[in-house]
Amino acid sequence: MTKVLTPLRPIEADLVSTLEGAVSQRGLTQQIAADVRGRGITRILFVGMGGSWASSVPVALQLQLSRLPIPTFNLNAAEFNAQYVLNVGATDLVVAASHSGGTPETVLAAQTAKEKGALVVSLAIGADNDLAAAADHSLVYGSDRSITSAKYVLLTELAYSILEAAGISDDVEAGRTALDGIPQATLDATEAYEDHLAEIAASYGFADNVFVLASGNLTGLAYLLSVCYLVEMQWKKSTHFTTGDFFHGPFELAQNNQPYILFSGQDATRAHAERAITFLDQYNANYRVLDVAQFELPGIEASSRALVQHIPTASITMRLADHFESVTGHDLDERRYMHRVAY
C-alpha cells in the first residue's frame, strides 16, 4: 500500500543559479586547458568514488569519442590508488571529484598524484577541503542539492576547453551555446516531468527490486539511480546494466512483472533503449522510461540536445529520488553505516 510519510521536497531553489555558476567557470577551465597543453599532458585520468565516479562518465566518453590524441580514463579512486598510481607522472592530468572534498580514497589519489608531479584538478562543493588543498586548480559548485548536474556542466566545460586548446573545434561552439542555455532549460525540464516522476515512484516505491538500464553518456545515471539513490538512500534492492548488455544475460530476469526503469537518450545509443523496450513490451511490460526526447528544453537547439542531455537528466534523476522519498517515507539522508561506523 502506498503511504506518504514525508512531504515532497521542493525542487531545489538554487538549481538555476548553481548551474549558471558552473557555466561561469568557463574561463577557469580554459586556464586548466592551457596548462594541459603547456605541460604536454599525454593522459587524462578522472578519479572518484560512487556518485563522483558516475559524474565523470559523460566527460570521459566525450573525450574518448573526440579526435583528441590523448587517452582518457574514468577510474574508481580506490583502484587508482592500488594500481594506476604506480605509473602516474608529470604528463598526467588527474581530475579528482568528491562532493565533500573529503572522500579518503579520492583525497589520497589527488595527494599521491600531486607528489608524483601530475597536474591535479579538484571538483567539489567548495575549495576549503583536503581535496582542493592537493590540487593545482579547483572547480566548485557550492550546492548540497544541485550536485551531479553541476558537476556535469563543469566537466563538460572542461572537455570543450581541452578540445579547443588542442585545436579541435568539433561541437565546441554548439556545445557552449547549449551550456549557456542549459541552467534554465534544466529547471523547465524538471518541472515539466513532475507528474511522470510521481507516477514512477508511486508504481515502484515498494517494489522488491528495480532494474535500471542506460547507455551512452547516461550510463553513469543508471549507476547513480540504482546504487546511490535506490540502494544507498532508499535501502532498496536494485541492479543496473548497460542497455546494450541487457541482451547478453540480464534479460533472462524479464519475467514475473519485474520493474525496469530505462534511460533513453537522443544520441547514437538510442536504438539500444528502443530494442530493450520492444523486448519488454513482448515479455515483461512493467517498465518506465526517462526519455530525453520528451524533455522540455526551451532554448536548446534540436541538433545540440545530445551534447547536453546528461545535465537535465541528472536533475530529473535526483528529482525521481525525491519522489521515492515522499512515497516510501524513507529519508534520503538517513544512513545506517555511511559516516556512522568505522569502515
Return the closest-CA partner of residue 237 out of 210, 201, 202, 200.
210
Domain boundaries, the chain: 15-170, 188-328
Q: Are 131 and 52 in contact (CB under 8 A)?
A: no
What is the dotted CATH code of the domain comprising 15-170? 3.40.50.10490
User: pTM for this one?
Assistant: 0.96
User: Is 90 exceeded by the pLDDT of residue 180?
Assistant: yes
Task: Decide whether 15-170 matches 188-328 in CATH topology.
Answer: yes
Residue 6: band (very low, low, confident or very high) from pLDDT cuts 50, 70, 90: confident
Tens of pLDDT, residues 13-66: 999 999 999 999 999 999 999 999 999 999 999 999 999 999 999 999 999 999
The DSSP secondary-structure symbol of 225 reads: I
Secondary element (H or E) of residue 38: helix 26-38
pLDDT at res. 4? 54
Rounded mean pLDDT of the chain?
Answer: 97
Q: How far is CA 69 from CA 43, 44, 63, 181, in A?
A: 9, 11, 9, 30
Q: Are 223 and 74 in contact (CB under 8 A)?
A: no
pLDDT at res. 235? 97
Cα gap 103→107, rounded to integer Å: 6
Q: Are 233 and 321 in contact (CB under 8 A)?
A: yes
Question: Mean pLDDT over residues 133-145, rounded?
Answer: 97
Question: Mean pLDDT over residues 108-117, rounded?
Answer: 98
In DSSP notation, 258-312 reads --EEEEE-SSTTHHHHHHHHHHHHHH---EEEEEGGG---TT--GGGHHHHTHHH
Question: Mean pLDDT over residues 172-181, rounded?
Answer: 98
Residue 5: band (very low, low, confident or very high) from pLDDT cuts 50, 70, 90: low
* Cβ within 8 Å of residue 338, ≥6 positions away: 232
Residue 106: band (very low, low, confident or very high) from pLDDT cuts 50, 70, 90: very high
pLDDT at res. 3? 56
- Strand order across the 237-242 sheet: 237-242, 209-214, 260-264, 287-291
Question: Mean pLDDT over residues 136-155, rounded?
Answer: 97
pLDDT at res. 1? 44
Secondary element (H or E) of residue 45: strand 43-48
Return the closest-CA partner of residue 277 out of 310, 239, 251.
251
Tens of pLDDT, residues 272-329: 999 999 999 999 999 999 999 999 999 999 999 999 999 999 999 999 999 999 999 9
CATH, domain 188-328, list 3.40.50.10490, 3.30.70.1450, 3.40.50.300, 3.30.70.1400: 3.40.50.10490
